[in-house]
């Protein structure tokens, strides 16, 4: 939902920044790999329980994740491998962030938050899986409220105000609801049932 509202505006800014970065000679794939590294550092911050700093870093690393595609488009270097690498490492980035939170909650004995983190992880992975699988069947599928942008915005915002458990409740429900919406979208697609 946020993606469809703010997506064109954000893409405009990132494309301009992508043009600037392209002139430096940095490759889109190098930016993709660097984004994963940054998210791993953010996970360490979250594992330490530094919610506010972690929330800001979630946003910074999340915005960095958008630059690889902008650089590729600016230099007309969009490739199938680059797109595949970006999608794959985005999943790892999200997983490592949630691992940081999971580690923190296990260390502090917050079993409810640890379980919510796991449920959020499953929902996030299923959002990507249902999209990839449906598109392999020829059904375009970006249905649902909790795409990656929404997840990054919600997690970062609620960490900043030190409400990680509320963030996880919202994400645990929202991610799995979005995956279910995508399943239903394929079910309703012409020729699917």
Residues involved in catalysis: 90
Which candidate, 41, 45, 59, places its Cα nearest to that of 155? 59
Give 13's contacts (C-beta < 8 A, 6+ positions apart).
Answer: none
> Can you state the angle between helices 148-160 and 2-23, rounded to 10 degrees?
90
Q: Which two tokens stand for residue 124?
A: 């996030």
* DSSP one-letter code for 162: T
Q: b vs e for 133-166, b when ≥16 Cβ sit within 10 Å of the residue's Cβ? A: ebeeeebebebbebbbbbbbbbbbebbbeeebbe
In angstroms, rounded to a whole number, what is the distance separating the alpha carbons of residues 39 and 97?
6
């Amino acid at each position: 939902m946020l993606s469809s509202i703010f997506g064109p505006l954000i893409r405009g800014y990132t494309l301009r920044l992508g043009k600037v970065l392209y002139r430096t000679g940095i490759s889109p794939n190098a930016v993709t790999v660097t984004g994963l590294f940054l998210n791993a550092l953010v996970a360490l911050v979250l594992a330490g329980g530094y919610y506010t700093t972690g929330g800001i870093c979630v946003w910074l690393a999340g915005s960095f994740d958008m630059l690889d595609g902008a650089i590729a488009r600016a230099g007309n270097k969009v490739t199938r491998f680059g797109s595949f690498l970006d999608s794959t490492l985005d999943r790892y980035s999200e997983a490592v962030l949630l691992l940081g939170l999971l580690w923190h909650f296990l260390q502090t004995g917050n079993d409810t938050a640890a379980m919510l983190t796991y449920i959020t992880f499953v929902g996030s992975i299923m959002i990507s899986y249902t999209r990839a699988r449906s598109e392999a069947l020829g059904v375009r599928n970006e249905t649902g409220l909790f795409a990656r942008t929404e997840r990054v915005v919600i997690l970062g915002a609620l960490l900043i105000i030190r409400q990680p458990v509320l963030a996880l409740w919202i994400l645990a429900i929202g991610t799995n609801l979005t995956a279910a919406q995508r399943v239903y979208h394929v079910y309703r697609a012409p020729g699917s049932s």
